[in-house]
Amino acid sequence: MSKIFVVSIDGPAASGKSTVSRLLAEKLKCSWLSTGIFYRGLAFLVNKLQADPSQIKDVLSLLKKQDWEVKMSLKETSFYYKKTNYNLDLKGEDIGALASLLAVNPDIRLALLDEQRKMKHLAKNFFIAEGRDCSSVVFPESNLKVFISASLEDRAKRRSLETGSSEILVKTQQKQRDKQDSLRKTAPLEIHKQALLINSSLYSATEIVDRLYTEIQKLLQTKK
């Protein structure tokens, strides 16, 4: 394949988009990018280095340091700080809430946009990007646009099992995060008009991956 085939997968927190991205990447034998890890990674740096999240200049200065990086593989997108993988530290809802708060700022989004787009150049044949604005902002040229949703109850249950937090607490946090992500002026969480809509409360991750794989094959056939 001479040109990279890009699949963009958007959706709210814990909708299952990361699991689908990972399984689809394994099926296509390609790397996948979770764009949200840039914001979670930044939130981690703000906490670890005790920066004031309200001081945007200070937050942006953290991005200019050369001691963090994002790496992709078939299994996951990883965040490294001083060559140590901190993925486990990024999964909590507290980090997610701070990441969502930071993502509201247009200067932060712009600063991270180029870093996210650079990851595509590391891909071969296929490239999968998941997040909240991949179809509309980060990779608008994507060949297949997907939006994965799920009921708030299912999303809270998934994240609760993942983090060990109570479902009630996670549900409250996710409601707030959904509101922040949807109402922000810059690159809000929204469904692209060309996106394939899938409710992961109705289908297993494997079923969704099979459907997306079929859609990809159809699109590849039309290009021949």
* CATH number of domain containing 158: 3.40.50.300
- Record the tokens describing residue 157, joined without a space: 């249950």
Indicate the residue type of 214: T
Q: Given CA atoms 93, 200, 103, 45 in this order, what sign does their dihedral have?
A: positive
Using CA atoms, how far apart are residues 177 and 182, in angstroms rounded to an integer? Answer: 8
DSSP, collapsed to helix, strand or coil, labels residue 72 as strand
pLDDT in tens, 69-79: 999 988 889 99
State residue 189 phi and psi, 5-degree precision: -70, 120
What band does 1 get if pLDDT is binned at 50, 70 and 90?
very low
Higher pLDDT, 175 or 117: 117
> In the 8-state DSSP scheme, what is residue 16?
S
pLDDT tops 60 at residue 2: no
pLDDT in tens, 125-140: 999 999 999 999 999 9
Say which range, 69-73, 156-160, 201-205, has the weakest mean pLDDT: 156-160
Domain that holds residue 189: 5-223
For residue 24, what are the contacts with CB-CB under 8 A and spacing of at least 6? Answer: 7, 32, 128, 209, 212, 213
If one counts the domains in the chain, the total is: 1
pLDDT tops 90 at residue 116: yes
DSSP, collapsed to helix, strand or coil, labels residue 32 as strand
Indicate the residue type of 106: P
DSSP, collapsed to helix, strand or coil, labels residue 80 as strand
Is 196:147 a contact under the CB 8 Å cutoff?
Answer: yes
Please tell me the predicted confidence (pLDDT) of residue 210. Answer: 98
Using CA atoms, how far apart are residues 201 and 69, in angstroms rounded to an integer? Answer: 33
Is 185:137 a contact under the CB 8 Å cutoff?
Answer: no
| Beta strands in 93-161, from DSSP E residues, in sequence order | 126-131, 144-149
Q: Which stretches within the chain are classed as H helix?
A: 17-28, 36-48, 56-63, 93-103, 106-118, 152-163, 167-183, 205-223
Using CA atoms, how far apart are residues 75 and 25, in angstroms rounded to an integer? Answer: 8
Please count the helices (runs of H) and the strands (runs of E) in the chain. Answer: 8, 8
Please tell me the predicted confidence (pLDDT) of residue 224. Answer: 64
pLDDT tops 80 at residue 201: yes
